């Protein structure tokens, strides 16, 4: 390592919070530069040596992470104003000081650890699974066309990371909108040849409070999704399906 | 979950869908009709405009049409719209995407349009209902109002807000009812409705300027009487 990089420091401003009820505050950190560092690597540095930029001893910053390859969604946080995964946020590509905040659309547990439980509740509510249990062997399910499998696979990439909910202006404390991610899962499971058998039930669920109508078409979700899931296409497709369901029911078909 | 405690109120899916539908039928249709009537003032002058007003007032059950085709839908769309508008937590600073800006402007122009329409209604149609002025005096009344540069400017703001709210609202309507589903359809739809916004605004502004013409100044009672024979 050259002396130049050795002397370089990375500046961080972390929005911290003791627990769910305490007030958030900002704390600055300076850590020695290493090439190819990601935000998690930087946070680990703070963990090893919990001293802030003023040289005061402090508590290490808490965060969550698992896979470190952007497939689990656990390390989502707001980095320089945009929600994303800390594991793929490379320090070399970020403007400094790097601003790190929790995705405060969700309840903040501590520092940048958030509770994404509402998303899992929504997935349960819309029954985002394929029911295959029977009292006897139901045999193989119907086949899925390859052309359909290809776009459905894109929807299955959702890792419930919560970035789309954080970006959505309609997901906030004033509404009970479930957000784009669980809605897109409704489309995924309705597209499955076996899951399709329960599609009316899923559509009925999202035609209730907190469901599809909460979308205001700001389309931030599709711009923010780290997996490039066509969330707004999913929502519009569900709009089409629920419109059909609406008329089918009214006309008693 | 919050939603599960609200059995008593109307399912928000249906109330939101009704809000969306009423914005197009009848309110959007009425806005376009209003623009076409006003545009007569520009293209056919005072006589043409009055002819249109007389024709509108000759429609069967005109009060019924006004109540169920304009006032009640407007009340619902306006009040429920305010509820929707103030639920959003705008974030264009962090997410400066075109559609996010449109989302914000849809709500801002909605509020401006509501204030504008309430004022415009109470200054014109309500005055007719109260017997302070007659339908035939409205052209002269508008001439007097629009001769003031401040009112003229406020009217410009009002009609541009209304035109934007309608045009962008049509874009959202097509998405919300599942007509424009894919990104290409939505992009093409954006271009079309922004084109409509420009055309609508221009025609409305032309009509406004037409009202400032001196020929609108004096009472048009005589002209109406002539028209009616």
Q: What residue of B is the nearest CA neighbor of A78?
A: B94
For A117-250, which CATH class? mainly alpha
What does the DSSP 8-state code read for residue A66? S
Q: What is the pLDDT of residues B177-226, one digit of tens each?
A: 999 999 999 999 999 999 999 999 999 999 999 999 888 877 555 555 55
Give ipTM to 2 decimals: 0.93
Residues of chain A with CATH 1.10.1060.10: 117-250
List chain B residues with CB under 8 Å of A231.
none
DSSP states of B30-98: HHHHHHHHHHHHHHTHHHHHHHHHHHHHTSTTHHHHHIIIIIHHHHHHHHHHHHHHTT----TTT---H
Long-range contacts of B48-52 (CB under 8 A, 24+ apart): B49/B139, B49/B210, B50/B136, B50/B139, B50/B220, B50/B223, B50/B224, B50/B227, B51/B227
pTM as predicted: 0.92
| Per-domain boundaries in chain B | 2-228
Predicted confidence pLDDT, tens digits, chain B (229 residues): 444 444 455 789 999 999 999 999 999 999 999 999 999 989 988 888 888 888 888 898 999 999 999 999 999 999 999 999 999 999 999 999 999 999 999 999 999 999 999 999 999 999 999 999 888 788 889 999 999 999 999 999 999 999 999 999 999 999 999 999 999 999 999 999 999 999 999 999 999 999 998 888 775 555 555 555 5
Q: How many CB pairs under 8 A join A and B?
A: 117
Q: What kind of fold does domain B2-228 have according to CATH? A: 3 helical TM bundles of succinate and fumarate reductases (1.20.1300)
Q: What gap in Å lies between CA A125 and CA B34, rounded to an integer?
A: 46
**A67 CA to centre of own chain:** 15
Gyration radius of chain A over CA positions: 22
List chain A residues with CB under 8 Å of B103.
169, 216-219
Contact status of B176 with chain A (Cβ, < 8 Å) = yes
Q: What is the pLDDT of residues A130-156, one digit of tens each?
A: 988 888 988 888 999 999 999 999 999
Nearest to A216 among B11, B103, B183 (CB): B103
Residues A237, A203: contact at Cβ < 8 Å?
Answer: no
Across the interface, do A82 and B84 touch by the CB < 8 Å criterion?
no
| B193 sits in which H/E element | helix B183-211
Residues of chain A with CATH 3.10.20.30: 3-114
List chain B residues with CB under 8 Å of A175.
87
Distances (CA, A) of B26 to B10, B15, B33, B166, B204: 22, 16, 10, 12, 19
Residues A205, B8: contact at Cβ < 8 Å?
Answer: no
Q: What gap in Å lies between CA B113 and CA B120, rounded to an integer?
A: 10
Contact status of B103 with chain A (Cβ, < 8 Å) = yes
List chain B residues with CB under 8 Å of A220.
91, 95, 97, 99-100
Q: From the CB of residue A135, how many other CB atoms can be counted at a distance below 10 Å?
A: 5
Q: How far is A139 from chain B (nearest CA, A)?
A: 35
Q: From the CB of residue A114, how many other CB atoms can be counted at a distance below 10 Å?
A: 22
The matching CATH number, chosen from 3.40.50.620, 2.40.10.220, 3.50.50.60, 3.10.20.30, for A3-114 is: 3.10.20.30
């Amino acid at each position: 390592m050259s002396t130049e990089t050795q002397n370089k420091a990375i500046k961080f401003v972390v929005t911290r919070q003791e627990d769910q009820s305490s007030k958030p505050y900002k704390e600055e950190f300076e850590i020695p530069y290493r090439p190819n560092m990601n935000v998690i690597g930087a946070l680990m540095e703070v963990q090893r040596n919990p001293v802030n930029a003023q040289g005061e001893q402090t508590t290490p910053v808490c965060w969550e992470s698992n896979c470190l390859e952007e497939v689990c969604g656990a390390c989502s946080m707001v980095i320089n104003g945009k929600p994303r995964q800390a594991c793929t946020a490379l320090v070399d590509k970020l403007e400094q000081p790097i601003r790190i905040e929790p995705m405060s659309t969700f309840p903040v547990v501590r520092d940048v650890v958030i509770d994404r439980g509402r998303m899992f509740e929504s997935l349960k509510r819309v029954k985002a699974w394929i029911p295959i249990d029977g009292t006897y062997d139901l045999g193989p399910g119907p086949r899925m066309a390859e052309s359909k499998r290809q776009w459905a696979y894109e929807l299955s990439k959702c890792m419930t990371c919560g970035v789309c909910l954080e970006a959505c202006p309609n997901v906030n404390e004033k509404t009970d909108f479930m957000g784009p991610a669980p809605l897109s899962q409704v489309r995924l499971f309705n597209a499955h040849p076996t899951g399709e058998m329960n599609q009316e039930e899923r559509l009925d669920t999202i035609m209730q409070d907190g469901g599809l109508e909460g979308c205001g078409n700001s389309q931030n979700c599709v711009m923010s999704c780290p997996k490039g899931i066509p969330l707004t296409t999913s929502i519009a497709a569900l709009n089409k399906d629920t419109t059909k369901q609406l008329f089918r029911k009214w006309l008693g078909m | 979950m919050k939603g599960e405690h609200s059995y008593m109120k109307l399912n928000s899916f249906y109330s939101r869908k009704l809000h969306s539908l009423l914005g197009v039928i009848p309110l959007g249709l009425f806005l376009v009709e209003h623009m076409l009537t006003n545009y007569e003032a520009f293209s056919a002058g005072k006589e043409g405009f009055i002819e249109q007003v007389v024709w509108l007032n000759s429609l069967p059950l005109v009060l019924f049409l006004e109540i169920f085709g304009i006032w009640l839908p407007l009340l619902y769309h306006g009040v429920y719209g305010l509820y929707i508008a103030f639920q959003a937590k705008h974030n264009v600073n962090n997410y400066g995407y075109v559609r996010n800006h449109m989302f914000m402007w849809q709500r801002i122009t909605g509020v401006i349009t509501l204030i504008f329409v309430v004022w415009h209604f109470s200054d014109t149609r309500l005055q007719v209902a109260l017997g302070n002025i007659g339908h035939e005096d409205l052209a002269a009344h508008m001439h007097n109002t629009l001769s003031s540069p401040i009112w003229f400017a406020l009217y410009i703001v009002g009609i541009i807000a209304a035109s934007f709210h309608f045009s962008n609202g049509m874009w959202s309507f097509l998405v919300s009812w599942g007509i424009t589903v894919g990104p290409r359809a939505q992009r093409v739809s954006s271009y079309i409705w922004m084109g409509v916004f420009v055309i609508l605004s221009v025609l409305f502004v032309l009509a406004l300027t037409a009202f400032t013409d001196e020929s609108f100044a004096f009472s048009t009672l005589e002209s109406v009487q002539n028209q009616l024979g």
